[in-house]
């Protein structure tokens, strides 16, 4: 189970819940994986709904690595994500948001 206080998000991939987290190292890898721009640009793309499938895959890939659940890009591309592309996009956006904000108390 993911801990939002530490920036974790869970995504079910191939029937297994996998915890994702954007560590500092994962953020560096994400910056390097972006074809253009910065993390601020990526945040703005998600806020404006202008993100791409490549943005989602990059976020999930580095998030899995940061959460200790690494998958190769090929494995991730072939994986079955519960809820499909929309669930993947939601999880990627939540992962990015949790990396840069403190969760509200219930």
Instruction: With respect to residue 50, please indicate whether it lies within any of the assigned structural domains.
Output: yes
Domain count, the chain: 1
Q: How many CA atoms lie within 13 A of 52 on its CB side?
A: 7
Asked if residue 22 is part of any domain, the answer here is yes
For 83, which DSSP code?
Answer: T
Q: Whole domain around residue 13: which residue ranges?
A: 7-99
Is 82:49 a contact under the CB 8 Å cutoff? no
Alpha helix ranges (H) inside the chain: 24-33, 39-48, 53-66, 73-78, 84-100
Q: Does a structural domain hold residue 2?
A: no
Tens digits of per-residue pLDDT, 36-81? 567 787 778 888 888 889 889 999 999 999 999 989 989 999 999 9
| pTM, 2 dp | 0.84
For residue 36, is it within any domain? Answer: yes
Range with lowest mean pLDDT among 24-38, 60-74, 87-101: 24-38
């Amino acid at each position: 189970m993911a801990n939002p206080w530490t920036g974790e998000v869970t995504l079910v991939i191939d029937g297994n819940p996998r915890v994702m987290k954007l560590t500092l190292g994962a953020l560096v890898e994400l910056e390097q994986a972006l074809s253009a721009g910065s993390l601020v640009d990526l945040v703005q793309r998600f806020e404006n709904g202008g993100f791409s499938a490549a943005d989602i895959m990059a976020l999930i890939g580095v998030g899995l690595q940061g959460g200790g659940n690494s998958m190769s890009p090929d494995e991730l591309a072939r994986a079955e994500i519960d809820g499909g592309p929309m669930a993947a996009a939601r999880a990627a956006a939540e992962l990015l948001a949790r990396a840069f904000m403190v969760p509200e108390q219930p």
